[in-house]
């Protein structure tokens, strides 16, 4: 941190406007090795890439089972037939993801703040928060989904939803909040104590210091790891298929069962990838924008 | 807030203050009184306890023994609302500690709106007045890392002033600055002194201490070894340790 930690007090205003050194450095790291050596190394890189993939393709195409695999996994016919319905069902995954994410962001922050409350008075709350994260990080997601997905509706309590989708999303929220709470907590603990001292010296209470000074800075810092967890969450929405939610993966299972051809799974995989890759790129972009907006490369 | 001084006319009175970090006793019985409009400079080597003393006064550090009385009210007593006490005391740190995610204006208005519960408009009027007075009005929309160290430190002082404190504590506020940025901050503090602000200043700037202080206290190993008007402390110090300290400062070319 340049500001609270720095005895050296860097004169950041002298940096040129635009993006920080860090952001620039990261983007060009892959190509940097090539540029140093010039055109010759670029040529070698291209050549070795071509050779590598040619060899790989030749090996696969000449393998004894290739024709069988090609028929079972790479059938253009089944792909074209199954894709529209799978893409349509994928909207269920997207909905599960978006609803779960909104609740996770709030619930996990609540858990993390509980765990960050200082002093002996709040010990029971801290304990609860720790027990919660330990429990849900320890149990396989799939078991939580099974138990809640089949168990909760079976209780037949008046007013409690019976839909598998509902309990599937609840399970994802419960499990992922445990992980995201840990991410938040790491962010909260990374804020320098001098920031808290400055807030408290203005007469702000502990909670006000958390709310106005600590949490806003912590959240900014943990955006990249948070988004990583959300890419995981997005993939795990496929687990809802196991309790009967008719989403993309469930749809491809149905298609496969009907045709004995595995190509529909490939279509499902493609749909997921098409969604997650832009998400990761968006994360990178968000991080870069935040950095360049405030020139805070050194402060992060 | 800016009420009458305590019954004895003191804004701040410290009696027998002891403070330890683990086994290390940093303050070993400090007695100090500060009157209204008085400017006290604390001098002494690094580790002599200047910063710790200031942090104790702002109740940022728990103390083991002794009393701190502000305007007649003992703030180290049990059951005192520390947040209320801190609203009466301003403290400025060596490393500025501005909030990097807030604009200059928000840095200054945070205390008034959230701790003093002033309206947004009222806090902003107060903040803009102060920023204008100290030549930083055009920076109000900037984030702290766009400012020079000197500007950041002036904003930090303004942030404290916006709380309209009874007393201002300055903890080596120029030590982290490049030499050419020091004078702007010192000028601001001089202006505050002319305006009658009661201040306790920990500093290594001896020339500054000499012309701003009503009283200079030399801290050595957790006690106030010698105190008096600046002419006396700087021209004819009585204690050998004080003489030694000032001699080393002169040799370092800092006076």
Q: Does B114 touch chain A (CB under 8 A)?
A: yes
Residues 10-39 of B with CB under 8 A from A: none
Here the tokens at position B65 are: 């023994």
Length of chain B as a residue count: 255
> ∠A117-A119-A122 over CA atoms, to 5°?
60
Mean pLDDT rounded to a whole number for chain A: 84
Q: A193: Cβ–Cβ under 8 A, 6 or more apart, which residues?
A: none
* CA dist B114 → A192, A204, A270, B131, B166 (Å): 21, 7, 51, 19, 19
Residue from the list B89, B110, B146 with its beta carbon closest to the beta carbon of A212 = B110
At residue B45, what are phi and psi to the nearest 5 degrees? -70, 165
Tell if the CB–CB gap between A7 and B93 is shorter than 8 Å: no
Which residue shows structure tokens 């700037």?
Answer: B205
The answer to whether the CB of B168 falls within 8 A of the CB of B160 is yes
**Residue A11 — very low, low, confident or very high, per pLDDT cuts 50/70/90?**
very low
Query: Could you report the per-residue pLDDT of A69-123, keeping only the tens digit for each?
Result: 888 888 888 999 899 999 999 999 999 999 999 999 999 999 999 998 877 888 9
The confidence score (pLDDT) of residue A231 equals 87
Instruction: Report which of B183, B176, B233 is spatially closest to residue B43, judged by C-alpha positions.
Output: B233
Here the tokens at position B41 are: 């400079």
The confidence score (pLDDT) of residue B214 equals 95
A158: buried, middle or exposed (CB in 10 Å: 19+, 13-18, 0-12)? exposed
Query: Which DSSP category does A153 fall into?
Result: H
What is the pTM (predicted TM-score) of this model?
0.79
Whether residue A278 lies inside any domain: the answer is yes
Tell if the CB–CB gap between A9 and B145 is shorter than 8 Å: no
- Which residues of chain B neighbour A202 with C-beta distances below 8 Å? 86-87, 110-111, 114-115, 159-160, 163
- Which residues of chain A neighbour B146 with C-beta distances below 8 Å? 12-13, 295
- Range B139-156 average pLDDT: 94
**Residue A293 — very low, low, confident or very high, per pLDDT cuts 50/70/90?**
low
- Range B109-123 average pLDDT: 96
Query: Could you report the per-residue pLDDT of A33-71, keeping only the tens digit for each?
Result: 555 667 888 899 999 999 999 999 999 999 999 988 888
Tell if the CB–CB gap between A12 and B163 is shorter than 8 Å: no
Minimal C-alpha gap between A4 and chain B (Å): 5
My answer on whether A103 and A51 are in the same domain is: no
Whether residue A113 lies inside any domain: the answer is yes
- Measured torsion, CA atoms of residues B34, B36, B39, B41, in degrees rounded to the nearest 10: 10
Q: What is the ipTM of this complex?
A: 0.90
How many A/B residue pairs have CB atoms within 8 Å? 111
My answer on whether A90 and A196 are in the same domain is: yes
Whether residue A7 lies inside any domain: the answer is no
Residue from the list A6, A13, A199 with its beta carbon closest to the beta carbon of B146 = A13
**Residue B179 — very low, low, confident or very high, per pLDDT cuts 50/70/90?**
confident
Query: Could you report the per-residue pLDDT of B118-137, keeping only the tens digit for each?
Result: 999 999 999 999 999 999 99
**Mutation target among A22, A187, A200, A201 for the B interface, most CBs of B within 10 A:** A201
My answer on whether A158 and A285 are in the same domain is: yes
The answer to whether the CB of B168 falls within 8 A of the CB of B193 is no
pLDDT at A6 over 60: no
My answer on whether A42 and A81 are in the same domain is: no
- Which residues of chain B neighbour A294 with C-beta distances below 8 Å? 100-101, 143, 145
Give, to the nearest 10 degrees, the angle between helix B120-133 and helix B149-161.
Answer: 130
> How far apart are alpha carbons A175 and A146 in whole angstroms?
13
My answer on whether A169 and A199 are in the same domain is: yes
The answer to whether the CB of B150 falls within 8 A of the CB of B181 is yes
Which fold, B10-251? Rossmann fold (3.40.50)
Query: Could you report the per-residue pLDDT of B20-57, keeping only the tens digit for each?
Result: 999 999 999 999 999 999 999 999 998 899 999 999 99
**Residue A18 — very low, low, confident or very high, per pLDDT cuts 50/70/90?**
very low
> How far apart are alpha carbons B93 and B171 in whole angstroms?
5
Whether residue A98 lies inside any domain: the answer is yes
Enclosing H/E stretch for A146: helix A141-146
My answer on whether A161 and A42 are in the same domain is: no
Query: Could you report the per-residue pLDDT of A183-215, keeping only the tens digit for each?
Result: 999 999 999 999 999 999 999 998 899 999 999
The confidence score (pLDDT) of residue A285 equals 83
- Range B225-249 average pLDDT: 93
pLDDT at A145 over 80: yes
Task: Name the domain count of chain A.
Answer: 2
The answer to whether the CB of A238 falls within 8 A of the CB of A249 is yes
CATH code of the domain containing A274:
1.10.3720.10
Whether residue A93 lies inside any domain: the answer is yes
Mean pLDDT rounded to a whole number for chain B: 92
Tell if the CB–CB gap between B95 and A6 is shorter than 8 Å: yes
Instruction: Report which of A38, A175, A44 is spatially closest to residue A103, judged by C-alpha positions.
Output: A175
Q: Does B93 touch chain A (CB under 8 A)?
A: yes
> How far apart are alpha carbons A248 and A272 in whole angstroms?
9
Here the tokens at position A132 are: 């919660």
- Range A130-148 average pLDDT: 94
pLDDT at B91 over 80: yes
My answer on whether A177 and A216 are in the same domain is: yes
Here the tokens at position A34 are: 């090539």
- Range B165-191 average pLDDT: 93
pLDDT at A3 over 50: no
My answer on whether A47 and A148 are in the same domain is: no
My answer on whether A54 and A162 are in the same domain is: no
Q: Where is the domain boundary, A62, A85, A109?
A: A62
Give, to the nearest 10 degrees, the angle between helix B179-194 and helix B149-161.
Answer: 20
My answer on whether A44 and A184 are in the same domain is: no
> How far apart are alpha carbons B237 and B220 in whole angstroms?
14
| Residue A51 lies in domain | 27-62
The confidence score (pLDDT) of residue A36 equals 60
Which residue shows structure tokens 């500054």?
Answer: B208
Q: Where is the domain boundary, A11, A35, A62?
A: A62
Whether residue A299 lies inside any domain: the answer is no
Query: Could you report the per-residue pLDDT of B51-83, keeping only the tens digit for each?
Result: 999 999 999 999 999 999 999 899 999 889 999
- Which residues of chain A neighbour B123 with C-beta distances below 8 Å? none
> How far apart are alpha carbons A227 and A290 in whole angstroms?
15
Percent of chain B at pLDDT > 90 equals 85
The confidence score (pLDDT) of residue A223 equals 83
Tell if the CB–CB gap between B145 and A202 is shorter than 8 Å: no
The confidence score (pLDDT) of residue A294 equals 56
Query: Could you report the per-residue pLDDT of A246-273, keeping only the tens digit for each?
Result: 999 999 999 999 888 999 999 999 999 9
pLDDT at A141 over 80: yes
Whether residue A12 lies inside any domain: the answer is no
């Amino acid at each position: 941190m340049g500001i609270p930690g720095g005895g050296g007090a860097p004169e950041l205003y002298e940096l040129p406007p635009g993006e920080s050194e860090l952001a620039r450095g990261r983007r060009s790291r892959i190509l940097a090795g090539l540029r140093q050596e010039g055109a010759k190394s670029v040529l070698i890189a291209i050549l070795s890439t071509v050779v590598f993939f040619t060899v790989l393709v030749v090996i696969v195409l000449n393998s004894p089972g290739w024709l069988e695999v090609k028929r079972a996994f790479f059938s253009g016919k089944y792909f074209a037939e199954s894709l529209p319905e799978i893409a349509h069902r994928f909207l269920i995954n997207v909905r599960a993801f978006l609803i779960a994410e909104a609740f996770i962001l709030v619930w996990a922050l609540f858990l993390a703040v509980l765990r960050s409350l200082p002093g002996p008075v709040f010990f029971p709350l801290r304990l609860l928060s720790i027990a919660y994260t330990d429990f849900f990080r320890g149990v396989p997601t799939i078991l939580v989904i099974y138990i809640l997905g089949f168990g909760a509706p079976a209780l037949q309590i008046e007013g409690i939803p019976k839909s598998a989708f509902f309990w599937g999303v609840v399970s994802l929220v419960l499990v992922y909040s445990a992980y995201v709470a840990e991410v938040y907590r790491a962010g909260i603990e990374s804020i320098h104590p001098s920031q808290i001292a400055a807030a408290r010296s203005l007469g702000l209470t502990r909670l006000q210091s958390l709310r106005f000074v600590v949490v806003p800075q912590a959240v900014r810092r943990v955006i990249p790891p948070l988004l990583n967890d959300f890419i995981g969450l997005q993939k795990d929405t496929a687990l809802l298929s196991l309790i009967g939610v008719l989403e993309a993966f469930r749809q491809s299972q149905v298609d496969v069962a009907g045709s004995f051809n595995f190509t529909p799974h490939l279509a499902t995989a493609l749909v997921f990838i098409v969604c997650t890759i832009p998400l990761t790129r968006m994360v990178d972009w968000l991080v870069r924008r935040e950095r360049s907006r405030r020139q805070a490369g050194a402060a992060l | 807030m800016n009420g009458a001084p305590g019954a004895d006319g003191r804004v701040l009175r410290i009696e027998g203050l002891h403070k330890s970090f683990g086994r290390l006793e940093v303050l070993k019985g400090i007695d100090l009184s500060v009157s209204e409009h008085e400017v006290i400079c604390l001098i002494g080597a690094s580790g002599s306890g200047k910063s710790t003393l200031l942090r104790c006064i702002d109740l940022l550090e728990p103390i083991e023994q002794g009393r701190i009385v502000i305007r007649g009210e003992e703030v180290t007593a049990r059951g005192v609302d520390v947040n209320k006490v801190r609203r009466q005391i301003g403290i400025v740190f060596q490393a500025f500690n501005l909030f990097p995610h807030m604009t200059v204006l928000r840095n200054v208005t945070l205390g008034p709106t959230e701790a003093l519960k002033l309206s947004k408009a009222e806090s902003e009027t107060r903040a803009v007045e102060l920023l204008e007075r100290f030549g930083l009005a055009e920076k109000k929309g900037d984030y702290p890392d766009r400012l020079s160290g000197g500007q950041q430190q002036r904003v930090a002082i303004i942030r404290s002033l916006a709380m309209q404190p009874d007393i201002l504590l300055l903890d080596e506020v120029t030590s982290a600055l490049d030499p050419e940025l020091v004078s702007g901050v010192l000028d601001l503090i001089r202006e505050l002194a002319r305006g009658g602000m009661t201040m306790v200043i920990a500093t290594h700037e001896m020339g500054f201490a000499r012309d701003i202080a009503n009283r200079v206290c030399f801290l050595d190993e957790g006690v106030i070894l010698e105190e008096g008007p600046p002419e006396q402390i700087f021209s004819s110090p009585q204690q050998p340790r004080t003489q030694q300290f000032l001699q080393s400062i002169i040799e370092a070319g800092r006076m």
